[in-house]
Structure 1
Amino acid sequence: MITKIQPFEGINSIAVIGNYLPRQCGIATFTKDLVEGLSARAPDISTWAVAMNDKVQGYAYPDKVRFEIHQNKYADYAIAAQFLNISHPDIVCLQHEFGIFGGPAGSHLLKLLSDLHMPLVTTLHTVLIDPSDEYRTVMIKLGELSDKLVVMSHKAKSFLHDIYGITEEKIAFIHHGIPDMPFIDSSFHKDKFRVEGKKVLLTFGLLSPNKGIETVLQALPAVIEKFPDVVYIILGATHPHVLKTEGEAYRIMLQQIVHKLNISDHVIFQNNFVALRDLCEFLGIADIYITPYLKEAQITSGTLAYAMGTGKAIISTPYWYATEMLADSRGKIVPFNNPNVLAEQINELLVDDTQRHAMRKKAYTFTREAIWKEVSQKYLEVFSEVRQNRILCPRPRHSYVGNIKAITRFDLPEIKLNHLKSMTDDTGMLQHADHTIPNRLHGYCTDDNARALLVAALGQKYLPTNGLGLDALCGHYLGFLLYAYNEKTGRFRNFMTYARQWSKEAWSEDPHGCALWCLGKAVAFLENSGHLEMSTVLFKKAIIAAESFRSPLAVAFCLVGLDAYLERFSGDRDARRIRDVLATRLFTQFKENKTDDWPWAEDSLNYANAKLPHALLVSGHKMENREMVKMGLDSLKWLLSIQTTDNHFAPIGCKGWYRKEGKRARFDQQPIEAKAMVEACAAAYNISHDRQWFESAVLCFNWFLGHNDLNMPLYDPKTGGCMDGLMVDGINQNQGAESTLAWLLSLMTLQKLYADELLHQSSPGLLA
């Protein structure tokens, strides 16, 4: 009979976020048990779940699951926050394990948590003792966003305080929950499993190579010698992620050990993910439970808690959780990977019934506080405390990705490559489109395919790539550039007809520079070794011609490409020499041409203007030339000021451009101008750490989404493409290559900027 508790004031609904059965993992079991435990302990409170999915199709969840999040889909986290805010649970309880959330160190989760209106209680299933910078930063931010952190061991509590600087007042200890099972003799159910009269050893849990089961198998012959009636049951399916990447290699290895040691009659493999009722019966027949993990870094273990809760005599290796839970003779600790000592301890417990039963009773008594009825009560008490504290001491809502000026606060759209792919055939990316349909009449051009290569290369680095085909797209675009490069002249041809014939137009520095910019960036990000080698070789060949360039824009393109190339191959002396020559040339052009009211390298502003200060910034930063960096910042600030109207970005139009002492053209405004500004402002922010540049990057990006002269969006959320320009009378509805690539590169730049902000906001020095 369930004892009904007094209502918890102000708590009518609780949402629990985590994996959920039938997904096969320990956190899924824990989340389900917590939801059901809370529902049983407080039936008047609506308790439900938000489930994390590791596959697109999800799982056949029960009704308790009201919402699903695909772990690698960033947009899902914002939508989940919106769903939770609309649903109004009084408390959100998060089950945290780094690996079940997307992004670096699971940082996608921070978007969801930062947007929540209600109090957050986070249960930590892992606390790292020696985290990398990314993991440390995410854990610290998780602590900041949570009203309370729940740990399941006292060692975890000390780790949070000593390693992450989280105050003890913010941490609560609650045992890992276990079912309430009777204390019965192990012989009671043995006949059901056909092991009556046997001494039964048991290990259970999802199989993976860190479990150390081979140590038990190696110890078994010495046990069998004294106890010929012993049997060892290995209960549990292979972990789904291990099964996906390694198959049954670990189980097969264990079976080979069994065969080699000739102990097949004494080992039973139960390859099942067992339900709770079956698990309780298996635990009931065990005389000794063994948990032989190979490393100490295990801060909690549900399988150990379950075994103690059934009153088992337990032998374990000294991982953190076991050392704490089995203290005071509640179990035996043996060294890691030591079959001889393990065999001695098994034999000792099987001989000494008095010691074994005393150990059982201590473990069972100790875990009465860990049964779900008690654990659920503890959680409800924490929830009540947290809610009352929030009422008494409200804190301002904040967002790590949205704490910028109101006019620029928004959620980033999802990156969609549909239109990019529709514009690409086996030759490369076509230049133009009629609405969304590729217009083959105008064929292809080199600078579009260069930008497309950059999109595909960046996508492989920063997007979940399953099913996107980015590697193949890289091959298409790189193949186009290889064919565009004329070995005889050392220069790129630019225009190709749909019949694959090169046009006989005069060669221009700007497309060549654009190709070098994108190739250099691709070299920095490509991971396919073949693509990397081809891009590097092509870049090295094509950069030779650039040394004589005089066009400021072409020089700027080359410099941004060289900066990225040198990120990967910093020791390339020839590339550094050319970088220094070109940077000095561009810097000199600025110094010789600028005036107080026109701080620019030439007498007109036209195409991709922001690339010039962008080049000065990155080159001056790497060359440690402060004057060059200052010139870049000053000219970019001026460029932004003359393109900002009524708190929105208004790029110089291509119908007349803007000549010194002339009148600037307001229309047609082109996406390429917004893209260049977004990239330059992002670079300025990363170099100067001045928050104003972050806001300026977002301001310029907003132009795509409708914060512009006509209050009309150019981004098409259905196709993932972008309209060709902002006209005086509306939007150019065609979605050509340049516009779509400008949109995708801008979105990727801002996503990376937001990701850096998530990971480094509290550690600004890391941005360098």
Structure 2
Amino acid sequence: MSSVPDTGRRQPAPRPSFAHLIRLSDDTGLFEHARHAIVRREHGYCTDDVARGLVVTSREPEPAEEVLRLAERYLAFLTHAQDVGGAFHNRLGHDRRWTDEAGLGDWWGRALWGLGTAAARSPAAWIREEALVAFSRGANRRSPAPHTMAFAGLGAVEVLRRHPAHAAAAALLTDAATTIGGPGSDPRWPWPQQGLTYASAALAEVVVAASQLRHGGPSLDDGLRMLAWLREVQLRDGRLSVVPAGGWQRGAARLRHDQQPIEVAAFADACATAAEVTGDPGWEAGIRQAVGWFLGENDSGTRMWDPATGGAYDGLTTHGPNANQGAESTLALISTLQHARRWS
């Protein structure tokens, strides 16, 4: 299935900068929040963001020494967060005490995504080996939530590309695709759920990848149909206009704000996977539109990152950018620009 024609404008993509990520990190992990560009230590750390940090640091093909050290730190955090049964704590206070019980929420799925990416892509053998151990411990657990399973499935995809015979990763990917489900028959809403919430493109990406990596898995056309529709409903005058934080329920009015960088990054990830799987250059246009969103090709015509700090703004509101530069938004910017380096 071909993607929608590219109608966006062109701006050169900056190189991914890890400056703000370094600013938000200490010897324990990655702080979740910032006021403008200044870290807010009182809010502590979360496994969700540390896992995403491990994804982007592991994706760097020739990381600088300081980026490799970040990857080691994030991996150590995740192994500390994991219990003996493979579940993960999510929230650690600045006092280095967990404030929750280990569980299988989205943070479990993202932890497996980070560990799987490190196990497959890190240039450091000691990181790959330890990450694979921790991934394998967590890969035997399951969640009933489609998004959680999608994030875990992305980790399984990474492991299977390097270790095709990894049985736990193969079973996890199969179960992730099954939990997500396939597109419905109504062309006006070919989505497995009755609403779009957050990081929606990750669900389509897992279906696309599973069609290639699992014998008897879902149809490639199913995943591409989901992703093509998602792109169609998120384009406005050739610009990316992603579903906001409040989501969008079938049959309800579609709101335009508060748009989140995580949604843009998930879309870029999925388009990159579709481009790689199909060889269709039309999907590269989706990556360019995701980059364009950060550069100002969005509903407000406003740049969504700060070149002085390397951080991304936390959301696009009715009044323009939320100027805070937290971990999630900055990681989304880095992830998107990593794809631009290859595909744009």
Indicate the SS of the match to 1:499: coil
Q: Tell me, yes or no, if structure 1 residue 641 matches structure 2 residue 238.
A: no
For 1:648 and 1:458, the matched residues in 2 are separated by 27
2:271 corresponding residue in structure 1: 681
Alignment partner of 2:182 out of 579, 583, 590: 590
CA separation of 1:462/1:554 partners in 2, compared to 1, >3 Å: closer, same or farther?
same
Aligned residue identity for 2:137: K
Alignment partner of 1:480 out of 71, 74, 77: 77
1:140-155 aligned at under 5 Å gives the runs none
For 1:514 and 1:626, the matched residues in 2 are separated by 22
1:533 corresponding residue in structure 2: 129
1:302-451 aligned at under 5 Å gives the runs 407-451=8-52
CA separation of 1:602/1:701 partners in 2, compared to 1, >3 Å: closer, same or farther?
same
- Between Structure 1 and Structure 2, how many residues are aligned? 340
For 1:594 and 1:501, the matched residues in 2 are separated by 48
For 2:104 and 2:243, the matched residues in 1 are separated by 23
For 1:538 and 1:569, the matched residues in 2 are separated by 15
1:722 CA displacement: 0.4
1:574 CA displacement: 3.3
Query: Which runs of no fewer than 5 residues in structure 2 stay unpaired?
Result: none
For 2:149 and 2:6, the matched residues in 1 are separated by 35
Aligned residue identity for 2:178: T
Query: Which runs of no fewer than 5 residues in structure 1 stay unpaired?
Result: 1-403, 755-768
Q: Tell me, yes or no, if structure 1 residue 521 matches structure 2 residue 111.
A: no
2:287 corresponding residue in structure 1: 697
For 1:574 and 1:627, the matched residues in 2 are separated by 18
1:671 CA displacement: 0.2
Q: Indicate the larger mover: 449-458 or 532-541.
A: 449-458
Aligned residue identity for 2:176: L
Indicate the SS of the match to 2:34: strand
For 1:590 and 1:732, the matched residues in 2 are separated by 35
Task: Tell whether the 8 Å contact from 2:90 to 2:107 is kept in structure 1 after alignment.
Answer: yes
1:507 CA displacement: 3.5
Q: Tell me, yes or no, if structure 1 residue 470 matches structure 2 residue 64.
A: no
1:685 CA displacement: 1.2
Task: Tell whether the 8 Å contact from 1:670 to 1:726 is kept in structure 2 after alignment.
Answer: yes
1:129-208 aligned at under 5 Å gives the runs none
For 1:626 and 1:477, the matched residues in 2 are separated by 32
For 1:572 and 1:676, the matched residues in 2 are separated by 25
1:502 CA displacement: 1.1
For 1:709 and 1:578, the matched residues in 2 are separated by 38
Alignment partner of 1:733 out of 309, 319, 323: 323
Residue deviations 1:702-726 (CA, integer Å, cap 9, x gap): 1010000110011211111101010
CA separation of 1:518/1:621 partners in 2, compared to 1, >3 Å: closer, same or farther?
same
Residue deviations 1:651-706 (CA, integer Å, cap 9, x gap): 1111x310111122211100000000011111111112222211122112210100
Q: TM-score, normalization: structure 1? A: 0.43
Alignment partner of 2:314 out of 696, 717, 724: 724
CA separation of 1:441/1:483 partners in 2, compared to 1, >3 Å: closer, same or farther?
same
Identity of aligned residues (%): 34
Aligned residue identity for 2:277: I
1:325 corresponding residue in structure 2: none
Task: Tell whether the 8 Å contact from 1:677 to 1:700 is kept in structure 2 after alignment.
Answer: yes
Indicate the SS of the match to 1:441: helix
Alignment partner of 1:710 out of 294, 300, 318: 300
Alignment partner of 1:560 out of 123, 129, 154: 154
CA RMSD of aligned residues (A): 1.9
Task: Tell whether the 8 Å contact from 1:552 to 1:601 is kept in structure 2 after alignment.
Answer: no
Indicate the SS of the match to 1:614: helix
2:261 corresponding residue in structure 1: 671
Q: TM-score, normalization: structure 2? A: 0.93
Larger relative CO (CA 8 A, sep 6+): 1 or 2?
Answer: 2
1:573 CA displacement: 2.7
1:626 CA displacement: 8.1
Task: Tell whether the 8 Å contact from 1:516 to 1:539 is kept in structure 2 after alignment.
Answer: yes
For 1:481 and 1:433, the matched residues in 2 are separated by 21
For 1:407 and 1:658, the matched residues in 2 are separated by 24
For 2:314 and 2:179, the matched residues in 1 are separated by 33
CA separation of 1:527/1:462 partners in 2, compared to 1, >3 Å: closer, same or farther?
closer
Task: Tell whether the 8 Å contact from 1:556 to 1:612 is kept in structure 2 after alignment.
Answer: yes
For 1:573 and 1:513, the matched residues in 2 are separated by 18
Aligned residue identity for 1:581: D
Structure with greater strand percent? 1
Indicate the SS of the match to 1:416: coil
